[in-house]
């Protein structure tokens, strides 16, 4: 291997989008720091967090952007989306309204970024079984219709959180390599 190959570096910008309080900041906190905030307000968000992943023996840096609450004012700026190659579009399986917003978020994403941005639809709060308002099949069906990956997660009990981020990073890596 040449020195150039050894120092080869990948940096993928990935954005978190979706309605307020669906768990975007907690998904990032769980993934990057293995933390969870039971009563988080939108203020816990950082601008972005960089997380290293290994794919096929290559080190990939995922730079994951959080809205830090600006989605409450429907004012996620174009700078937020600029240069993004991946997106996690999150809804809350216990609040149907957040699932109904998915189309609007997709429009917003496609207005501000490349059409080819690798997107996964994420049904978060899968731990809230008794409060479920959106079935897994509904999520899957919408994802298929829109050409998105799909996964259900829980930032609370950790289930599928790394898988959600990893799926996006792996797909981006496969596209560019
Ligand atoms: P954001 O506005 O999309 O960033 O949402 P937050 O991450 O701030 O989460 C909003 C609220 O939902 C907080 O009270 C979290 O503790 C809670 N929450 C986030 N993820 C989960 C989850 O997977 N399960 C449950 N039960 N609550 C969650
Ligand atoms: Mg947040």
Q: What is the ipTM of this complex?
A: 0.99
d(CA 161, CA 158): 6
Nearest CA to ligand 1 atom 26: 125
Which atom belonging to ligand 1 lies closest to the Cα atom of 19? 3
Which of helix, strand or coil describes residue 46? coil
Q: What is the pLDDT of residue 153?
A: 98
Tell me, what's the pLDDT at 72?
73
Q: What is the pLDDT of residue 7?
A: 53
What pLDDT sits at residue 69? 75
Residue nearest to atom 18 of ligand 1 (CA): 23
- Tokens (6 digits) for 135: 């079935």
At 171 the pLDDT is 97
Instruction: Name, in order, each residue with C-beta under 8 angstroms of 84's C-beta and a sequence gap of 6 or more.
Output: 13, 14, 15, 65, 113, 114, 117
The pLDDT value given to residue 20: 92
Q: And the tokens for 23?
A: 């768990």
Ligand 2 center to 20 CA (angstroms)? 7
Which pLDDT value is given to residue 71? 77
Which DSSP letter does residue 133 get? Answer: -
Instruction: Collect the ranges in the chain with pLDDT lower than 50.
Output: 2
User: What pLDDT, on a 0 to 100 scale, did the predictor assign at position 78?
Assistant: 85
Given ligand 1 and candidates 17, 19, 26, 32, which is best to mutate, with the most ligand atoms within 8 Å of its CB? 26
Q: What confidence score (pLDDT) does residue 163 get?
A: 98
Task: Give the global pTM.
Answer: 0.93
């Amino acid at each position: 291997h040449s020195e150039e190959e050894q120092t080869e570096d990948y940096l993928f910008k990935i954005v978190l989008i979706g309605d307020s309080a669906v768990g975007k900041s907690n998904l990032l906190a769980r993934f990057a720091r293995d933390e969870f905030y039971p009563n988080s307000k939108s203020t816990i968000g950082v601008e972005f967090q960089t997380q290293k992943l290994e794919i096929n023996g290559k080190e990939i840096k995922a730079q994951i952007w959080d809205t830090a609450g600006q989605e409450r004012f429907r004012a996620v700026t174009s700078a937020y989306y600029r240069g993004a190659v991946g997106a996690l579009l999150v809804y809350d399986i216990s609040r149907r309204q957040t699932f109904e917003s998915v189309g609007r978020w997709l429009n917003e994403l496609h207005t501000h970024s490349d059409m080819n941005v690798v997107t996964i639809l994420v049904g978060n709060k899968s731990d809230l079984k008794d409060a479920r308002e959106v079935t897994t099949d509904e999520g899957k069906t919408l994802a298929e219709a829109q050409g998105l990956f799909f996964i259900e997660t829980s930032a609370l009990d950790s289930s599928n959180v790394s898988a959600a981020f990893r799926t996006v990073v792996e797909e981006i890596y496969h596209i560019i390599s």
